[in-house]
Structure 1
Amino acid sequence: MISTAGAIIQTTRLILDPLRDEDTPTVFAYRSDPASSRYQGWKPTDEAEVAQFIADQRAQPFGTPDSWCQLAIRHRASGDLLGDFGAHFPPTLQDPIEFGLSLRPDAQRQGFARESMEAAIDIAFNRWGYRRVVASVDPRNTASAALCRALGMRQEAHHVESYLFRGEWVDDVVFALLAREWRK
């Protein structure tokens, strides 16, 4: 298991910590919003589904191998929920760890995604011991692709119509970064 002192990651402006029951309405609002969820794999149908997701996350230890673990992204000063951050922990440290995130519409384009990802990448390499980080992006999601590039990730693949997403065959672009490439 991976430990982050209670699964809390702190940055200058953010805290990434476990999702709480009271986060349910906010998570539902941005995760069900058509613009915010356009490229997201999970689009909940109601608040009960979100409440169950949060309960399931609470029951699963953070860092469980071969699982996705979600953390809340909160504004450090106000405590407001801005979005959620996901990490797919592979079966071994030799396999790549994958990150993804979703932000409320009003929290986008303020550097919160980059700040979250930089902290997670740094911890993945320097504390958890992973050697490779990956991100899978729909190429129409130009903001996420730009974020990956800004973080120093390189595009390693572009799979054409490789993923059936909500009844539509879509492309998948894979970005990656090695620990030795990460800036200190």
Structure 2
Amino acid sequence: MDLSTERLWFDALRESDAAALFAYRADPEVSRYQGWRPETLSEAKGFICNQSGIAEPLPGQWFQWAIRRIDDGSLIGDLGLCLSDDKQAEFGITLAPSAQGHGFAREALGGLFRALFSRLDVHRLHASVDPRNASSMALLKAVGMRQEAHFHESLWFRGEWVDDVIFAMLAREWREIHTKGAGFAASR
């Protein structure tokens, strides 16, 4: 599935992305609230190798896109998606520190949401976030998602019980936002 926006395009992670992927995914500030943090460059290469056998998002399987800048082709992050058999999808996004604060995450999610709700006929999209991750909480609210739940100390994560907040958006909610002209940066 091809995805692009005004400044970004999404494609498969490549072996040549391993060093960049490792650099931002292993950064303690970036990975603080994420389930996967590679310990070695070899582990990042293995992740890319495992993803190379997946050509498109399939129900029940996580699919990872590289997020690249159109102007220079550089890898600035990655976007994971897991479709379900019942027209729902979960996503997660990670950006390198140098790409944060420029609107890339909001733009990337705009492209993802447009594709899921328009082309793949997804009914409901959701994301799970640690409420201490203020940046992610703000991003999900900014793209029009609503908080559905706050589970207290529901996950055992890196040696402690942590909260889990669920944000979601329905296709009809996305259409309402999109119709009003609010929403996301232009995508093509």
TM (normalized to structure 2)? 0.91
Greater relative contact order (Cα < 8 A, sep 6+): 2
1:155 equivalent in structure 2: 147
1:98 equivalent in structure 2: 90
2:45 equivalent in structure 1: 51
Q: Return the offset for 1:61.
A: 2.9
Identify unmatched segments of 5+ residues in structure 1.
none
After superposition, where does 1:1-184 map in structure 2 within 5 Å? 4=1, 8-93=2-87, 96-182=88-174, 183-184=177-178
CA distance in 1, matches of 2:159, 2:54: 30
Q: For residue 65 of structure 2, what is the amino acid of its counterpart?
A: L
Q: Return the offset for 1:168.
A: 1.2
| Secondary structure of the corresponding residue to residue 156 of structure 2 | strand
Q: Return the offset for 1:92.
A: 3.1
Q: Return the offset for 1:98.
A: 0.8
| Secondary structure of the corresponding residue to residue 44 of structure 1 | coil
CA distance in 1, matches of 2:64, 2:57: 10
Count of residue correspondences: 176
CA distance in 2, matches of 1:23, 1:64: 23
Q: For residue 67 of structure 1, what is the amino acid of its counterpart?
A: Q
Q: For residue 45 of structure 2, what is the amino acid of its counterpart?
A: A
| Secondary structure of the corresponding residue to residue 52 of structure 2 | helix
Runs of 4+ in structure 1 off by over 3 angstroms are none
CA distance in 2, matches of 1:155, 1:129: 22
Q: For residue 38 of structure 2, what is the amino acid of its counterpart?
A: P
Question: In angstroms, what is the RMSD of aligned CA positions?
Answer: 0.9
Q: For residue 99 of structure 1, what is the amino acid of its counterpart?
A: F
